[in-house]
Copies of this chain bind each other. A is one copy, B any other.
Amino acid sequence: MSAPIIAIDAMGGDFGPRNIVQASLACLSATPSLQLILVGQAPLIEELVARHSGVDRSRLRIVNASEVIAMDERPSQALRGKPDSSMRVALDLVASGQAQACVSAGNTGALMALSRFVLKTLPGIDRPAMVAAIPTQRGYCQLLDLGANVDCSAENLYQFAVMGSVAAEALGVVRPKVALLNVGTEDIKGNQQVKLAASLLQAAPGLNYTGFVEGDGMYRGQADVVVCDGFVGNIVLKSSEGLASMIAARIETLFKQNLLSRTVGALAMPLLKRLQADLAPARHNGASFLGLQGIVVKSHGSASVQGFQSAIQRALIEIQENLPQRLHGRLGELL
């Protein structure tokens, strides 16, 4: 296999290019085969790179892009009005084969719209979905869609289930259990889309569809792949992030109450922070767009240096696992 090359949208996210450049250079030193292309305002990026010593410039390219897509910009504006945005140029590098993946911490809606426009969806897929790994009592589950599609038909949910199953397989899960997120586990529960998607999934050959799962069942680890529309998925994910932060804050307060508990608190806090990070996957590990003819990983807008590194790492795994090609093959069988 040739060396993996990842195009980085250096201008996206809430904190500008500083964190992104730092994370990119850290990945570059950690993975000797990796090549990166930093896309954005070249003079600014050059200056940020120059602050670091020992950078292997033979594996780092900087490509200029004059425009930046704002975090609150409408996707349609981003699509039509900014042909030279860092996000667009990074995706163009994937489309032209100069890179195998794109990582961005920018505007999610714009990234999805541009990805669809530039890379196109895989045959049989109407809409790409955003997926991330959520921790459960038994390990992890792949939750999708996380917000790319607020309104979904039963067919969309069906396609998400197929894509989530293939992604879980690529991550090493054997015969992943696929479930639809619902308000109950009985057949009569749920809205029309969910009920219809259930009947489509029951008839799907070669898919390990296990039925409906409730919100608590998801965290109990009842499924490896949990499917919902992007409205529900986004709210579940962000609520979970918020709840985990709240619990961590309360426990921190609790541990400050006396000397003995302060002592143990000091021991427990790193573990609690790790848990909290684990529970905010989009912020910390990046979320993948599935269903495109190329790899796109979305890092959280307010991701830390470490968070952005994890997103690059996820892109690297997907390159190694050849995810879009694997998806393409399985979709041919299943759709």
Contacts and interface: CB of A to CB of B under 8 A. Distances in A.
Interface stretch (A98-106, A263-271, A317-325): A263-271
Interface stretch (A23-31, A114-122, A249-257, A307-315): A249-257
Given A183-B230, A261-B267, 8 more contacts: A183-B234, A214-B235, A216-B239, A218-B239, A219-B246, A220-B246, A231-B232, A240-B240
A151 B220 CA distance: 26
Contact of A231 (B190, B218, B237, B249): B190
Contact of A215 (B72, B182, B214, B234): B234
Contacts of A238: 214-217
A271 B249 CA distance: 13
Interface in A237-289: 237-247, 249-251, 254-255, 260-261, 263-265, 267-268, 271-272, 275, 279
Q: How many interface residues does chain A have, given as a range?
A: 35 or more
A147 interface: yes
Nearest to A260: B264
Contacts of A242: 215-220
A251 B251 contact: yes
A254 B265 CA distance: 11
A150 interface: yes
Contacts of A191: 150-151, 231
B234 A216 contact: no
Contacts of A183: 147, 150, 230-231, 234-235
Nearest to A222: B242
A22 interface: no
A236 interface: yes
Contacts of A271: 254
B232 A219 contact: no
A136 interface: yes
A151 to B, nearest CB: 5
Contact of A239 (B150, B219, B245): B219
Given A230-B183, A243-B244, A250-B275, A236 B264 contact: no
Contact of A235 (B181, B186, B260): B181
20 contacts: A137-B249, A150-B183, A150-B190, A191-B231, A214-B235, A215-B235, A216-B238, A216-B245, A217-B238, A219-B239, A219-B245, A239-B239, A239-B240, A243-B244, A244-B247, A247-B275, A247-B279, A254-B268, A254-B271, A261-B268
